[in-house]
Amino acid sequence: MRLSLPPARSLRNKLALVFFGITGVAFAAIFFIVVPQLRSNLESQRLKELQRIAPAFTSTLESAMNSDINSRQLDELVRSVADSSDAEVTIFGVQRSSGPPDFYAISNSHVSTQVDASAWLVRRAYLARRIRSAVTTVNDERTAQAAVPLRLGRRPPEWMAVYTRSLADVNDTVSLITTRVLIASGVAILISLIGGYLVAGRLARRVSRLELSAKGVAAGHFRDPLPVDSGDELGQLTRTFNEMQFQLARVEGARREFIANASHELRTPIFSLGGFVELLQDEDLDEETRAEFLGLMSEQVDRLQKLSVSLLDLSRLDAGSLELNPEEVDLSELAREVAGEFTPALTSHHARLELKLPDDEVEAVCDRERVAQIMRILLDNALRHTPEGTQVTVTADRDNGAAELTVADTGPGVPAPASGRVFERFYTGDAARGSGLGLAIARELADRMSGEIKLDSRPGRTAFTLALPIAEGNGSA
């Protein structure tokens, strides 16, 4: 059963808030960074335009200074300059004294308005003897102003012309854009909140589906593969989850099969030993029969010992706790040592063992003890599943960049249906002659040493070949 999460921990709500926050931050940046920069750029553009136009009328106004012009004519001239420059024009006179100069209005292009200008800007232009401009506040209104000195020759300026343009249109433009940005922000934030909630809901449903399936797998319930309906990260996660579930199902099936087969393999000799013990308790048994029963019991005990060792090896292999110590090993020398261990078994089986080993070393990179274990498994397999008098041959050689160790026999061979299953756990053609674990362990050990075991079987010859990587610097013979 899936527990509902608090709203603050819900993936849907978190992702929706992330969409909301990103959109809000983006429009906040536009409102607090872009809009003020827009106002500044527009005002700067108006000011530069005024700086470019104002000097064009300087010569006309300076000529009026040197002429006998009355106040009415001066007002007309100022209004004409104002119309041409598209600005309000004010002419100031300069009254020089021992202190800072004073400025007084002479004429203004808008006779109906109060003549005003920024005194500091006029003073700056007068002292610099050149045009100066700035954005100022006149009568509580932001304006662009340019002050131009008017003088005759090299004498100090007698008049100061001030050009003023209102920035009301800039304020209107910025206000309009600000309003539109606020409206667009509200709409975008609403859309992002709704869209983010819907998208997050879809993602949350997919995550919840994975969560429920994961809980089912944890409980041992393997379900049908989840549908992979996208190629994004969640789709890849779903695909990986399906692969994991498939592998876990296989492992679980193998585990159950392993337990069932192991139980069966252990039960047979244990029941057999129990039966022999009951028979041996009969005091009327003759010595010959008692000796026969003891021999059979010894065989079952030996079978149990081998089975327990094999099961222990398999469990260590499955758990990954089997340690390997790779080193350079001479397979020819190792083959002689292991073959010597089988002298009693060969004698009781009336079998002949032939060693075909080269004079030079056949070195492989492997774990010496594990290769010896594989060879014992192959030799034991050759003797266990062949009739008495069979010839067994052990060969060591190098081929195709690998060191090979082959155990072959002249027995009847492995039937075709069984040749593909001889390396499966607990598979055996004759349950009375083995547990079916030896070759499975041999293949697992070979794989762990980056090698492989191959079977070549036909009537009259069966050969198992262990191929291992050779030591670096040793080529094939």
34-86: pLDDT as tens digits: 777 888 888 888 889 988 888 888 888 888 877 878 888 888 998 999 999 88
What is the separation, in whole angstroms, between the first and last Cα of the chain? Answer: 66
**CA–CA distance, 245 with 234 (Å, rounded to integer):** 16
Check whether residue 302 and residue 333 sit in a common domain. no
pLDDT of residue 360: 84
Q: Compute the C-alpha angle 344/348/354, nearest 5°.
A: 65
Average pLDDT value for the chain: 80
Instruction: Give the domain range for residue 303.
Output: 233-317
**pLDDT score of 28 more than 50:** yes
What are the CA-CA distances from residue 103 to residues 95, 122, 269, 321, 464 (Å)? Answer: 6, 8, 126, 100, 116
Lowest mean pLDDT among 69-83, 262-276, 342-356: 262-276
* Confidence at 428, pLDDT banded by 50, 70, 90: low
| pLDDT tens-place string over residues 225-234 | 777 777 777 7
Instruction: Tell which of 317, 339, 357 closes a domain.
Output: 317
**pLDDT score of 427 more than 80:** no
More confident residue, 9 or 315: 315
Per the CB < 8 A criterion, the answer to whether 188 and 23 are in contact is yes
Mean pLDDT of 460-468: 91
Instruction: Give Cβ neighbours of residue 239 (< 8 Å, ≥ 6 apart).
Output: 228
Check whether residue 146 and residue 70 sit in a common domain. yes
**pLDDT score of 468 more than 50:** yes
Instruction: Give Cβ neighbours of residue 422 (< 8 Å, ≥ 6 apart).
Output: 414, 439, 455
Pairing of β 132-138 and β 391-399: unpaired
Q: Which two tokens stand for residue 424?
A: 């499966």
Q: What is the CATH number of the domain that holds 47?
A: 3.30.450.20
Total-model pTM: 0.47
**pLDDT score of 223 more than 70:** yes
**pLDDT score of 1 more than 70:** no
Check whether residue 62 and residue 188 sit in a common domain. yes
Domain count, the chain: 3
Lowest mean pLDDT among 109-118, 354-363, 365-374: 109-118
Instruction: Tell which of 174, 209, 244 closes a domain.
Output: 209
**pLDDT score of 264 more than 70:** no
* Confidence at 476, pLDDT banded by 50, 70, 90: very low
* Confidence at 113, pLDDT banded by 50, 70, 90: very low
